[in-house]
Structure 1
């Protein structure tokens, strides 16, 4: 631990000299009595750990305007990630998650209880997390991952492990099915002390991090592509006018979730519980998730929203959706 603190202290000192005092790397090397290459490594470490965050604002950048519009309309803190229309969905996802990882790190405090919902977006996000030393923090899995084909432990635990390693936090997994076969089984399981312990921990969350699941996404949400739902389940969701989910809890376009039968079998947190969490960070990539995102915002599930520029434009002005879809299709035809 002392070695880590020493390295972090050196990185911070080098960053302050370079970015705040305008010293050259040669001058910093002389003052720290080290080599120029070591200073370069210290500055890289400062950026990777989140000690330094670089913001670039172009006069032609539309992101600030979009952020103001979305902040005013949905009452959330918004970060729009600028992306080119020529990028495919996978490339946009990577760009969004890289920036999201750097934005989330400063929000993480010691003694925090951070709920994490597994999924395609959060899995990608977890690979780009920047290290930050915290003390007494806990990462808790928000929903079970088991289904009829797999326990889901390998998939979900890897995501939780990355979060735990990034913030030096304790990890609490939730080894239950994503969906129970019967609502009665869930009710009985929720009375078990081992499960109750995780539920009580979730109730004490200070932060939640999640994506928005959507059956129509170009990069399918893991809950829809990983064998968690059969045809009967999908028909039930369609009949209930479901547009998306957060942590395997479903909702409609107007944000309502009452009367959706699948939620009675879901291991995810009740949306009323989620809404009590002080900081709720929603990361979304891809215009094909727009319906689910609108539903999540209508439900008041997010306090912070990180999304790509194309999706932000459509959220502000739905009339731009057609042009965005044409551009994406054109790019796909070219790519194929």
Structure 2
């Protein structure tokens, strides 16, 4: 690592040729090439391209102007599958996170298919006195959720040499009273207090309409009555298992009283809130999250960015499917 750092500094900062670096390090030119490759792949070097001529850069500026959030548009070919699109956006998000997260910081992470993809592409970055905090519980009536959520959070913690703070509660309690009582326990208050003091929150947008189904809608977390309730209350998506409508409102959504994700008032106080989205089917949920002012930094694919900027009407034009149809489609 020391040799890679030295080679990278000489090559990128001092503009030395590989032959000159090989001479200074008393090694071969091929070894210098391998050191530079290692520096890039391990995250020691972060290469960014900012061209004012590229459409993605223009879209980034327009998203800032229209929605007041910093934007990073990830180039993705138009014919890409939804899985490939998500993987490319996740890879871009993983690189960008290294610029945001550092020593003496805490980052809250919401589990889900997007976060799982990001965790697989993280580049190691050594930090000190840092924490990765689980934003919402993952258990349900079929599983504790520990294996799924902890694997995602473990990758984040190991990549940043950070402490892992898990949140061992279900995604939804059976009753609001259970949540209220448990939230008074000191062990739970410790995690809740950490969530309230986060430097960064990282999340995707869950959607019942997504082409890659959000984990909360296919993992056994919702029953038919829940789907019926979400449909009647015109829910378009969720962030960390807290549901919202197209206008960003959450009032009167019964399931939120049992949810373990952070209230939006708490989330909005976190200085940097990074939302990662890929695919047009997530657009209604993204517009709702923007309306709720949950996002400060948006990482999004080109096609979705273009569609977002072309949206000049209400954030969503159709109500959720009836509960029977939606829950049946999810089970399939």
Q: What corresponds to 1:42 in structure 2?
A: 35
| Shift in alpha-carbon separation, 1:59–1:269, aligned structure 2, 3 A | closer
Pick the aligned partner of 1:268 from 237, 240, 261.
261
Point out the more displaced range, 196-205 or 58-67: 58-67
Q: What corresponds to 1:228 in structure 2?
A: 221
Distance in 2 (CA, whole Å) between partners of 1:154 and 1:210 is: 19
Mind listing any 5+ residue stretches in structure 2 that lack a counterpart? 313-332
Superposition map of 1:65-214 within 5 A: 65-214=58-207
| Shift in alpha-carbon separation, 1:59–1:207, aligned structure 2, 3 A | closer
Quick check: 1:11 aligned with 2:34?
no
1:57 Cα deviation after fit: 5.0
Where 2:209 maps in the other structure, the secondary structure is coil
Where 2:32 maps in the other structure, the secondary structure is helix
Point out the more displaced range, 51-60 or 27-36: 51-60
Q: Which stretches of structure 1, 4 residues or longer, exceed 4 Å deviation after superposition?
A: 57-60
1:58 Cα deviation after fit: 5.9
1:159 Cα deviation after fit: 0.5
1:98 Cα deviation after fit: 0.5
Distance in 2 (CA, whole Å) between partners of 1:11 and 1:246 is: 39
Where 1:223 maps in the other structure, the secondary structure is helix
1:22 Cα deviation after fit: 2.6
Q: What corresponds to 2:251 in structure 1?
A: 258
Distance in 2 (CA, whole Å) between partners of 1:37 and 1:196 is: 54
Distance in 1 (CA, whole Å) between partners of 2:174 and 2:31 is: 57
Is this contact kept in 1: 2:108–2:132, CA < 8 A? yes
The one-character-per-residue Cα deviations of 1:41-79 (angstroms, maximum 9, x if unpaired) are 321232123332223456763101111110111111100
Where 1:306 maps in the other structure, the secondary structure is strand
What is the TM-score when the length of structure 1 is the normalising length? 0.90
Quick check: 1:311 aligned with 2:285?
no
Is this contact kept in 2: 1:81–1:308, CA < 8 A? yes
Quick check: 1:244 aligned with 2:259?
no
Distance in 2 (CA, whole Å) between partners of 1:118 and 1:36 is: 44
Distance in 1 (CA, whole Å) between partners of 2:52 and 2:129 is: 42
Is this contact kept in 1: 2:51–2:57, CA < 8 A? no
Is this contact kept in 2: 1:48–1:131, CA < 8 A? no
Point out the more displaced range, 174-183 or 36-45: 36-45
Where 1:282 maps in the other structure, the secondary structure is strand
Quick check: 1:52 aligned with 2:45?
yes
1:40 Cα deviation after fit: 2.3
Distance in 1 (CA, whole Å) between partners of 2:68 and 2:168 is: 35
Is this contact kept in 2: 1:80–1:312, CA < 8 A? yes
Q: What corresponds to 1:33 in structure 2?
A: 26
The Cα RMSD (Å) is 1.4
1:235 Cα deviation after fit: 1.0
1:109 Cα deviation after fit: 1.4
What is the TM-score when the length of structure 2 is the normalising length? 0.91
Mind listing any 5+ residue stretches in structure 1 that lack a counterpart? 1-6, 320-336
Aligned length: 312
Is this contact kept in 1: 2:52–2:58, CA < 8 A? no
Q: What corresponds to 1:296 in structure 2?
A: 289
Distance in 2 (CA, whole Å) between partners of 1:244 and 1:10 is: 48
1:16 Cα deviation after fit: 2.1
1:15 Cα deviation after fit: 1.4
Distance in 2 (CA, whole Å) between partners of 1:208 and 1:10 is: 34
